[in-house]
Amino acid sequence: MKGLLLIFFTLSTSLASQVGSLAERAPIKLLTEVQEFMQEGRYDRAEKQLKSASLSDPHVLRLLVELTQREGRRDEAQSYSRRLLSLYQSGQLNTSEDIGQAAYAAWQLSLWQDANRIFIEAAQVQPVSVSLFVDWGNLYLKKYNAAEAELIFRDGIQAMGQPTSEFFRWGVDAAYVGLAQALKGQFRPGATAALAKALDLNPNNLQAYAFNTSLAIEDKNWQEAQEWIEKGLKKNKLFLPLLELECAYEYFRGEVQAFEKLQQRVLKINPNDGDLFETLGDLANRKRLLEEAAEFYREALQRNPRQESARASLGIALLRLGKEEEGKRILEVAYANDPFNIWTVNTLRLLDSFDRFVRFETPHFRMKLHEKEAVALKPYVAELAERSLKTLEQKYNHQVSGKYVFEMYPDHEDFAVRTMGLPGLGALGATFGRIVAMDSPSARPRGEFHWGSTLWHELAHVVTLSLSNGKVPRWFTEGISMMEERQAGEGWGDYLNVGFVQAYKDDLLLPLKDLNSGFERPESGQALTIAYFQAGWICEFLVSGYGFESIAAMLEAFGQGLSTEEVFQQVLGASVEEIDGQFRQKMEETLKPLLSKLEAPEHFSLVHLFPGGVGQEGEGEAGLETDLDTLLQAWQAAPENYFLNLRLGTQLKTAGRQQEAIPYLEKALEILPTQAARGSPYDILTQIYEETGQVDKLVEVRQRWWRAAPLFPENAHRIASLLSDRDQPQEAAKYLEEVMYVDPLQPETHQKLGDLYLQFSETEKAVREYTVFLSLSPVDGAAAHYRLAQALFESGDRQGARNHVLLSLEIAPAYPEAQKLLLKLVRQ
Ligand SMILES: [Zn+2]
């Protein structure tokens, strides 16, 4: 009986709507008027007007969906959506814009796949409407697929010419707002410009106001946030996204009462407003206040149990807080309800890949290393993690509580998933919540990645985030990490290079008060690198001028919720601007003498001298051939020029005039000894001494290079083998120990280090090295087992020695040394 009724009902509505749509489409004038009411916040008026119009017009229905949803009237919204969708199903929607409305309805009914399919269909009907692309792009944004969304918004902008005879929900300005969001979602530059364009096209675009507000809140630009909110609410005092952001504004400023009051106001409009709490959660998440983010997401779900995006974000936040089981359970539900959320899918995939990770615990960490490298990395990673945390805890006089999860990913993409949605964390490592995640050495090319210094950097974050209750601004925690890296080991971390000096010369450094945006929204990869270096230098400047205690005191003050200005006044007794002024002066003193020496020489462009780019791999070698006489002439006019010295030295070397090249290269090194990439003067000098067989000089220059940048393992290997030849095994071992922080997965290094340890009776360390050696599948398995057996024997582990000597003989039964060792083991 029920079934029959249902059929009857469906038929009658579709019949009614068919008649309606043919006979009475709502006049464009009415729709435009309604849209204006909505723009001005006269929502009741808008709804009344719509209800007087034909309920078979797709735009009338769509606007009713928006209006009812705004107030949390879900059942009504659903019923309008179904009606709208049935217009499409009965073949009554023909224009691109009309079909787009049906797609929107399908989306509201959580029929995401259908929505996407109908959007595609709508986009194929000419003329296409911009409005369609705006809705479609927004669907992709909701699914955290910012890359696809960007393409869709760009298509919309290209399709600009929609006919004026029809009604359209959105204009091109809305496509620019979407584009800004999509770019921001990918942490790509251009969002600000896109927003400006949107407001240029339509100064009343309230979504643009809202987005600007959220950016300002993220940056703690309270003044700016307030201005956007005020301006926007003046145009529409009931615009929900802005009211929600006003709540967030008060919340993150710590104005609890104002927050409570505004929250009540929003909930009065829509008691089921999950968006309010999801917005708060997202902002907390981006500020890396994960506990608070999780609470907000829970509240969002309580208000609106169908807010699947909040569910997914809750699951991810819990994982980041180290609550793996609960997080996974929630994500599985989120996936079942919405399999199109990219973050859910990627995170679940990542969790699956954990099966291939080896887990173990150290006093402060729950560690995860990939099975293919776990044995090799474990001793160094565990030792360094504990040592760095202990050092930093003592230095900052602060103990972190509880255990942290430490993960190393051989696949950079997995690392990227782990840090998804967190601004500016794409580099090599990241610390958030209870997680420290970073690339493993095999995720990067050899000689490019000092994982030891990255690990130290991350653990400095652990301490500074904990000490400041997670409230330290990005620039400051990054600056401290950069500073600490440099103190962790000789040559660790980043030093002054050509790129930074040039950025200084070109006035690309940000004022201190804006430095945070250099991390949150860098204009380019280079801008981010510069921001890091600048932040590190500022911290070192503070330590030298105000004492190390000032750094710790500032962290504590941030932890109490003070603003940057307040912290500076309280701890340093000066404003942000004053300190910036002092820092600039210091920087000028250091860099000024360098500027003229690092100028592009007259008559030469740097591109011509160094086509690969200065400071890039192969900067010296790849230069186009320039006539030596011309170069010499230029050099005579500017003998202190870094580039001419380097270029001249490189070219003389290439011409086989090695001895003549040396003074020029030494001169370049004298000017900027910290420029130590491949192609730097160190590199060319090394090649010269190799070619000419000047061993002492060779060792000396390799040592200088290694101390400036302990990155290129061949330097340490060559030094170690020379030292070993000179019967200095302990010194040799030190170099190979340092190699482990850059290039720990080469079996031979472990074998050599084990051999050295045995020479001076460090038998336990020898056992460690041979164990790693064996785990890296060396070519000669018999020898590997034998070496380990020998080390075990010398360390007193006879049983272990016996096992390995037998394994060795199993592979090579006639192995004489192994037989001898076995005899020894049996006899004694
Ligand atoms: Zn960092």
Please name each of the domains of the chain with its CATH number. 343-467 (3.30.2010.30), 482-598 (no CATH), 599-709 (1.25.40.10), 725-828 (1.25.40.10)
pLDDT in the model for residue 18 = 42
Output the CA 539–ligand 1 centroid distance in Å: 14
Output the CA 706–ligand 1 centroid distance in Å: 24
Judged against a pLDDT cut of 60, whether residue 14 lies above it is answered with no
Q: Do the Cβ atoms of 347 and 319 come closer than 8 Å?
A: yes
Output the CA 551–ligand 1 centroid distance in Å: 17
Q: Decide the pairing of beta strands 429-432 and 357-361.
A: unpaired
Judged against a pLDDT cut of 60, whether residue 6 lies above it is answered with no
Least confident of 331-340, 414-423, 715-724: 414-423
Output the CA 458–ligand 1 centroid distance in Å: 6
Output the CA 654–ligand 1 centroid distance in Å: 40
Output the CA 299–ligand 1 centroid distance in Å: 31
Crossing angle between the packed helical segments 763-775 and 781-794, to the nearest 10 degrees: 160
Instruction: Give the alpha-carbon dihedral of 264, 265, 270, 276, to 10 degrees.
Output: -70
Percentage of the chain lying above the pLDDT 90 cut: 76
Output the CA 649–ligand 1 centroid distance in Å: 37
Give me the mean pLDDT over the 175-204 stretch.
Answer: 93
Output the CA 453–ligand 1 centroid distance in Å: 11
pLDDT band at 607 (very low <50, low <70, confident <90, very high): low
Output the CA 698–ligand 1 centroid distance in Å: 36
pLDDT in the model for residue 414 = 87
Judged against a pLDDT cut of 60, whether residue 93 lies above it is answered with yes
Output the CA 312–ligand 1 centroid distance in Å: 26
pLDDT band at 613 (very low <50, low <70, confident <90, very high): low
pLDDT in the model for residue 428 = 82
Output the CA 218–ligand 1 centroid distance in Å: 18
Output the CA 462–ligand 1 centroid distance in Å: 10
Least confident of 19-23, 252-256, 401-405, 509-513: 19-23
Output the CA 516–ligand 1 centroid distance in Å: 13
Output the CA 226–ligand 1 centroid distance in Å: 30
- 369: helix, coil or strand? strand
pLDDT in the model for residue 614 = 56
> Which H helix or E strand runs over 370?
strand 365-370
162 or 773, higher pLDDT: 773
Output the CA 284–ligand 1 centroid distance in Å: 19
Q: Please give the C-alpha separations between residue 126 and each of 94, 95, 159, 222, 263, in angstroms, as whole numbers.
A: 10, 8, 10, 45, 45
Output the CA 412–ligand 1 centroid distance in Å: 16
Q: Which residues surround ligand 1, an ion (CB under 5 A)?
A: 478, 481
pLDDT in the model for residue 433 = 85
Output the CA 492–ligand 1 centroid distance in Å: 14
Output the CA 129–ligand 1 centroid distance in Å: 44
Residue 18 to residue 20: CA distance in whole angstroms: 5
Give me the mean pLDDT over the 234-238 stretch.
Answer: 96
Output the CA 481–ligand 1 centroid distance in Å: 6
Output the CA 320–ligand 1 centroid distance in Å: 17
Q: Do the Cβ atoms of 317 and 285 come closer than 8 Å?
A: yes
Output the CA 440–ligand 1 centroid distance in Å: 16
Output the CA 428–ligand 1 centroid distance in Å: 9
pLDDT band at 641 (very low <50, low <70, confident <90, very high): very high
Q: State the greatest distance between any 2 C-alpha atoms of the chain, in Å, as a whole number.
A: 107
Which tokens go with 40?
A: 């001005």
Output the CA 457–ligand 1 centroid distance in Å: 6
Output the CA 281–ligand 1 centroid distance in Å: 23
pLDDT in the model for residue 423 = 60
Taking CB atoms within 8 Å and a gap of at least 24, the contacts of 710-715 are 710/450, 710/489, 710/490, 710/491, 710/492, 710/738, 710/741, 710/742, 711/447, 711/448, 711/450, 711/676, 711/742, 712/447, 712/678, 713/446, 713/447, 713/739, 713/742, 713/743, 713/746, 713/749, 715/686
Output the CA 534–ligand 1 centroid distance in Å: 13
Output the CA 405–ligand 1 centroid distance in Å: 17
Output the CA 508–ligand 1 centroid distance in Å: 21
pLDDT in the model for residue 193 = 93
Which tokens go with 440?
A: 């493993």
Least confident of 340-349, 504-513, 612-621, 622-631: 612-621
Output the CA 307–ligand 1 centroid distance in Å: 32
Give me the mean pLDDT over the 518-530 stretch.
Answer: 85
Output the CA 461–ligand 1 centroid distance in Å: 7
Output the CA 498–ligand 1 centroid distance in Å: 22
Taking the CA atoms of 9, 11, 16 and 20 in sequence, report the sign of the dihedral they define: positive
Summary mean pLDDT of the chain: 90
Output the CA 242–ligand 1 centroid distance in Å: 32
Give me the mean pLDDT over the 48-60 stretch.
Answer: 91
Q: Do the Cβ atoms of 649 and 681 come closer than 8 Å?
A: yes
Judged against a pLDDT cut of 70, whether residue 17 lies above it is answered with no
Residues 557-581: pLDDT tens digits? 999 989 999 999 999 999 999 999 9
Strand partners, 409: 439
Residues 403-444: pLDDT tens digits? 999 999 998 888 888 887 676 555 788 888 899 999 999 998
